[in-house]
Structure 1
Amino acid sequence: MPVECRLHPASPLPDDALLDRVRNLASSLVSDVFGRWAGAPGLLPVAGLRPGQVIAGPAFTVRTRPGDNLVVHKALDLARPGEVLVVAAGGATDRAILGGLMGQYARERGLAGLIVDGAIRDRSDLEQVAPPVFAAGISHLGPYKDGPGDLRSAVSVAGLTIHDGDIIIGDEDGIAVLPRSRAEEIIVAAEAKREAEAAESAAISAGTWDRAWIDAALRMVDVPA
């Protein structure tokens, strides 16, 4: 008997120019300017990400039973080019949610990235044929295909709430999210921080980096020998 898969309405796709600006940032910049809590700890790049590469795209959210990938297959059929598949699988790492064949299909479909709050497998294959993959772990054990699940609903991924259409940024440090309604605000702030950090880097090279803030923040106490 078929199981229920609830499908919520699709979000409008963002402008390419906005995504280009995000690709010129870093997950750490987004996290720093957005309360230092915009990231999903433990979800790290496991395949397909080139050194220095930054991915950006709107989230296609999936909620599935841990260890089950039936609705993930359906999500791959429905996802639009440029979207980032975000799978909330409960953080369980005993069974892989996707592997090489699904990764290859995701690339053929034009997805920008795959994020799994759970395990993946076929790491070498994913390295060769998939878009960048972020996951909580790796397991050779295969998934169940029983369902049920939700597509395009709000999900919780490694403690981070993500809504369908939110902007995902992923790089070597992991992933961060820009809520769709605040994306422009966060991008502007992250761009300003990027320029400030570039100025600090120049000061380090010139030997003029101001370190006075450290002493201002500390009350030093000498300990007797």
Structure 2
Amino acid sequence: MLEQPATLKIKRLRQRPNQAQIDAFQGVPTGFVADAMDGIGAMHLSIQALGVAEGLPFTAAGPALTAYNGPGDVLATFAALSFIQQGDVLVAGVDGYQGCATVGDRVMGMAKNGGAVGYVTDGPIRDFEGVAKVGLPCWCTGLTPDSPMMTGPGTIGFGVNIGGRQVETGDMIVADRDGVVVVPFADIDAVLARLVDIKVLEATLDKKVEEGLKVPQNILDMLDSNDVKYID
């Protein structure tokens, strides 16, 4: 490389969902959101809610603030603390590097103090006891005591690929015990519109199951059709 890259590259202009859009995703299960996106949108299952068994909080829904660090580095994540807005989910990419932690309890505490409602990364974290005390919901790949570097280069506000999904600042992040779903900014209204129907369908099927449903009618119809060949 002939020129030394800037230590940090920060995107000034941020697209952001309005408050009504953000509010509409609160408490919505990730499965509903994924269904509203035709069964896609979830990050890889390696990114899981931290501390569910210990009773830590494991739901969050808010606009993504992206930080790309590169493997083994956390400078962009630290710098992103200056740009958190109330209700953001801090999404920190490290190219899936598993050799050291992406944050610890102090960064999580500062992120929460700044208004973040969740933290998502494709690497591990450290300081479990301290993170549990902070109480900021976290999705990560696990735990490690090893510490990272703070050298850069990194970016804030630009796209980051994490868990098999491209995440842009301003995309909606919806996360719970099942995992993390990314709703692209441009698709937010369409997904919310589909969620209205999905909630009705889910409630209807729940009621039928509670009333004793054993097999869905469409499956019974298929089993009684020419689409199935029975062999004695």
The TM-score normalised by the length of structure 1 is: 0.90
Shift of 1:210: 5.9
Higher strand fraction (1 or 2): 1
> Structure 1 126/190 Cα, relative in aligned 2: closer, same or farther at 3 Å?
same
For residues 6 and 83 of structure 1, the distance between their equivalents in structure 2, rounded to whole angstroms, comes to: 20
Q: Is the 8 A contact 1:47 1:134 kept in 2?
A: no
Q: What SS does structure 2 have at the residue aligned with 1:17?
A: helix
Quote the offset at 1:216 in angstroms: 4.7
Aligned counterparts of 1:51 and 1:119: Cα–Cα separation in 2: 17
- Seen in structure 2, the aligned counterparts of structure 1 residues 2 and 38 have a Cα distance that, compared at 3 Å, is closer
CA distance in 1, matches of 2:146, 2:57: 31
Root-mean-square deviation (CA), in Å?
2.4
Alignment CA distance shift 1:51-1:184 (3 Å): farther
Tell me which amino acid in the other structure corresponds to 2:153: P
Q: 8 Å contact 2:93–2:161 — kept in the other structure?
A: yes
**Deviation of the 1:17 alpha carbon:** 2.1
- The equivalent residue for 1:106 is 111
Residue 10 of structure 1 corresponds to which residue in structure 2?
13
Q: Which range is displaced more, 20-29 or 51-60?
A: 51-60
- What is the identity percentage for the equivalent residue pairs of Structure 1 and Structure 2? 24
For residues 38-187 of structure 1, the aligned pairs below 5 Å read: 38-41=41-44, 42-47=46-51, 54-187=59-192
1:53 is displaced (CA, Å) by 5.6
Provide TM-score, normalisation by structure 2.
Answer: 0.87
* Residue ranges of structure 1 left out of the alignment (5+ in a row): none
Give the whole-Å Cα distance in 2 for the aligned partners of 1:208 and 1:90: 45
> How many angstroms does 1:71 deviate by?
1.4
SS in 1 for 2:50: strand
Q: Cα distance, 1:209 vs. partner?
A: 6.3
Per-residue deviation at 1:120?
A: 0.5
User: Does structure 1 residue 195 correspond to structure 2 residue 216?
Assistant: no
Q: Please give the per-residue CA displacement for 1:48-107, whole angstroms capped at 9, x wherever unaligned.
A: 896786311111111111111111100112222211111111111220010111111111
Please tell me whether the aligned partners of residues 25 and 191 of structure 1 are also in contact (alpha carbons under 8 angstroms).
no
Mapped partners of 1:23, 1:64: distance in 2:
29
Contact 1:3 1:146 in 2 (8 A): no
Offset, 1:10 = 3.3
Report Cα offsets for 1:142-164 as digits up to 9, x if no partner: 11111111111111011101111
Please state whether the residue corresponding to 2:122 is helix, strand or coil.
strand
| Cα distance between partner residues in 2 of 1:87 and 1:17 | 25
Residue aligning to 2:26: 23
Q: In the alignment, is the contact (CA less than 8 A) between 1:47 and 1:126 conserved in 2?
A: no
Equivalents in 1 of 2:78, 2:110: separation in Å?
A: 10
User: C-alpha distance in 1, partners of 2:130/2:51?
Assistant: 9
**What's the offset of the Cα at 1:221?**
5.3
Conservation of the 8 A alpha-carbon contact between 2:22 and 2:61: yes
Deviation at 1:15, TM superposition (A): 2.3
Deviation at 1:13, TM superposition (A): 3.4
CA contact (8 A) 2:126 2:143 kept: yes
Counterpart Cα distance in 2 of 1:23 and 1:37: 19
